[in-house]
Structure 1
Amino acid sequence: MAATLKDVAEKAGVSIRTAGRALRGAGPVRGEVAERVLAAARALRYVPNAAARSLKQRSSRIVGVVTGSIGGTEAGQRRMRMLEEAFRIRGLHTLVGALPGTFGELENLLREWNGLVSHVIFLSWPAPWDAAKLRGYPLRFLFLDCGPGLEGFDNLLIDRPSGIRAAVHELIHAGARRIAHVSSPAAVGRHSGFHAAVEANPAVETFTIETEGLDFRHGYQAGPKLRQLGIDAAFFDTDRMALGFYRYAHEHGIAIPSDIAVAGFDDDSACAYAIPTLTSVAHPDREAVDRIAAIVTGPAEAPAKTEILPTRLVSRESSANRISYPKSPNKGDV
């Protein structure tokens, strides 16, 4: 059975209040008394009950974060690291849980967290789930880039279309006139940005190449179709897909960007080291993390809001002016 604060106090020969002050390092406690309490806590292997303390103080220094499949991507891992760092420098701790398979399992998770955390941040949220059911919990919920769009919750949304529109405009400016969108149904918010960019350019022909997913192999598998259609530029829904196509281009003598200009999404670290470097749309991670930290450390009675954060185009060699790069001698060979 785990030791309690009362056990520590009895072993040290002090009151429970004095033991609590000594363990927190707060309040007027003589040095030798504090040492006696700490020694008793070590001997009993006492671990403070964070949930009980949070309930008593009506506050918590722990923030819950629920991750999803995006946690396995570089963009998702980068976002998680930034959140943990932002909380750490503010004296907060992070409690991480994977998104369960059913809403019932999520409710079990939230019941376990209740009293331990005051805020729960969702980095993933299945569209079929009814977020309104969360209103019965005494917790503040924040949705980052996955919001259900309901009033009463903090929703931080990413303006993907504007960044994609900027990327496609860059491909057009580089001289592309036959542009493909290499896309997966798993991607969110890509199609509207792509079509908004090309609709204003009637001289540009567009094509959609659907893939089964968003990984390296899916970009590689799109290569034969891109060659068959005579594409001179392609926007990929993720950098992983774009870099998968890089491999295909290398194997088949396709020069980037002179034969096919390329842009992706996520601004993964590999973009700056690929040959040529890859143009990509970057997430507003710093802005999102700062906003979340402000909500978590701000007044509890502050109204929940929905905010849309802009993305940013990072221009690199893969979308440079195609005229300045030598073309492959075997372009178009199948």
Structure 2
Amino acid sequence: MADVATMAGVSSQTVSRVANNRENVDAATREKVLSAMQALGYRPNTAARALVTGRFGALGVVSFDVGAHGNARTLGAIADAAREADFSVNFMGVRAQTEAAVRHAFQHLMLQSVDGIVLVESQMLDTPSLRLPPSMPVVVADGDTGHEYPNVDFDQAHGSHSVVSHLLSLGHRTVWHLAGPPDSFAARRRAEAWQRTLTDAGAPVPPLVYGDWSARSGYRAGLDIARQPDVTAVFAANDQMAMGLMRALHESGRSVPEDVSVAGFDDIAEAAYLHPPLTTVHQDFEVVGKHCVALLLDQIEGRTDGPRRRAVEPVLVVRSSTAPPRPGGLA
């Protein structure tokens, strides 16, 4: 630190203020100190900084399959929000769907000196309870809302309701559902809302068809759905499965949306460029990331008067893959 102070022409106390990201340093002086740090390869001691500031400047994220669209987008949004709050992010992936595996990931991150951890739960664990280290600030994203921990999630029920209501309003007699895997919280909530919306409307409830979130599973399920002559509308629980479904319908000689309307969920970047463009539900992951970091900071800084649960409302995006059923045809 003394070498940095000498090169920048400032006191060691000023270097300390810059290293700890204090605000009482003017921009020109801060720039000189940062340049000297870079030239000398100086790296602040995180343990010493924690003694001064009471924090390490890092947040942890524990998540299952980061290849899944929702998990990947949530992780990226948390990283962006953390960076805006001057925190880095340490990530720990989990393969086994067990509380023990989650606790192990938490212990690993705690050894890396993080100030708080976001658990992107997404998949059901082997126990309905969730016991995490009591000393660590925790936020659960996309998980079981029955946990005691602060949580952030999309209003999955609202999203499903908006899709099904849209399809019924077009004149379809009922709506089939290509659901995600049964061990997914999001898939379960979307399926429950699909069934509830049909029941409330007095519409028949077709049997559930399951996929695994992949376009391949949507294609395979779509081949079976295409053989059902009374199917005129399908709500897929995510856009990838909807893509596979649309291909299967096309190969089976059933056009979208003339013969079968198809809607998805997520509004991935490719959804607007499919043929036809896909009706879907847009989820704002940036807002989820900001909520996760804000709830963690509330705990880290000792604020207890704010809301502990935050639901982000998704928005229906109507495109050309949905339309009224053929006149005189099955509806």
Q: What is the TM-score of this pair, normalised by structure 1?
A: 0.78
Aligned amino acid, residue 221 of structure 1:
R
Structure 1 unpaired stretches of 5+: none
Tell me what 1:140 maps to.
137
When Rg is computed on C-alpha atoms for both structures, the one with the higher figure is: 1
Tell me what 1:307 maps to.
310
Tell me what 1:190 maps to.
190
The within-5 A match list for 1:1-334 is 20=16, 45-69=41-65, 71-99=66-94, 101=96, 102-114=101-113, 117-124=114-121, 126-128=124-126, 130-135=129-134, 137=135, 139-147=136-144, 149-151=146-148, 153-183=149-179, 184-186=181-183, 187-204=187-204, 206-211=206-211, 213-230=212-229, 231-298=231-298, 299-303=301-305, 305-323=308-326
CA contact (8 A) 1:8 1:41 kept: no
1:308–1:6 distance in 2 versus 1, CA, 3 Å: same
Aligned amino acid, residue 215 of structure 1:
S
Task: Tell me the alpha carbon deviations over residues 59-78 of structure 1, each in whole angstroms, 9 at most, x when there is no partner.
Answer: 24322222321x21333333
* Cα separation, 1, equivalents of 2:18 and 2:236: 58
CA contact (8 A) 1:123 1:146 kept: yes
CA contact (8 A) 1:256 1:262 kept: yes
Q: CA deviation at 1:48?
A: 1.7
Secondary structure (helix, strand or coil) at the match of 2:208 reads strand
* Cα separation, 2, equivalents of 1:59 and 1:242: 45
* Cα separation, 2, equivalents of 1:78 and 1:203: 34
Aligned amino acid, residue 259 of structure 1:
D
* Cα separation, 2, equivalents of 1:200 and 1:247: 31
Secondary structure (helix, strand or coil) at the match of 1:255 reads coil
1:270–1:89 distance in 2 versus 1, CA, 3 Å: same
Task: Tell me the alpha carbon deviations over residues 296-325 of structure 1, each in whole angstroms, 9 at most, x when there is no partner.
Answer: 44442325712333322211111223449x
1:123–1:37 distance in 2 versus 1, CA, 3 Å: closer
Secondary structure (helix, strand or coil) at the match of 1:175 reads coil
CA contact (8 A) 1:171 1:262 kept: no
Secondary structure (helix, strand or coil) at the match of 1:222 reads helix
* Cα separation, 1, equivalents of 2:252 and 2:246: 10
Task: Tell me the alpha carbon deviations over residues 231-259 of structure 1, each in whole angstroms, 9 at most, x when there is no partner.
Answer: 11111121111100111122222111111
CA contact (8 A) 1:100 1:106 kept: no
* Cα separation, 1, equivalents of 2:326 and 2:205: 19
Secondary structure (helix, strand or coil) at the match of 1:131 reads coil
Q: What is the TM-score of this pair, normalised by structure 2?
A: 0.78
1:255–1:46 distance in 2 versus 1, CA, 3 Å: same
* Cα separation, 2, equivalents of 1:264 and 1:296: 32
* Cα separation, 2, equivalents of 1:36 and 1:270: 45
Secondary structure (helix, strand or coil) at the match of 1:59 reads coil
CA contact (8 A) 2:58 2:88 kept: yes
* Cα separation, 2, equivalents of 1:104 and 1:200: 41
CA contact (8 A) 2:282 2:315 kept: yes
How high is the sequence identity, in percent, across the aligned residues?
A: 24
Task: Tell me the alpha carbon deviations over residues 69-98 of structure 1, each in whole angstroms, 9 at most, x when there is no partner.
Answer: 1x2133333333332222323333222222
1:72–1:253 distance in 2 versus 1, CA, 3 Å: same
* Cα separation, 2, equivalents of 1:40 and 1:240: 47
Q: CA deviation at 1:42?
A: 5.2
Q: CA deviation at 1:182?
A: 1.5
Tell me the matched-pair count. Answer: 313
Secondary structure (helix, strand or coil) at the match of 1:94 reads strand
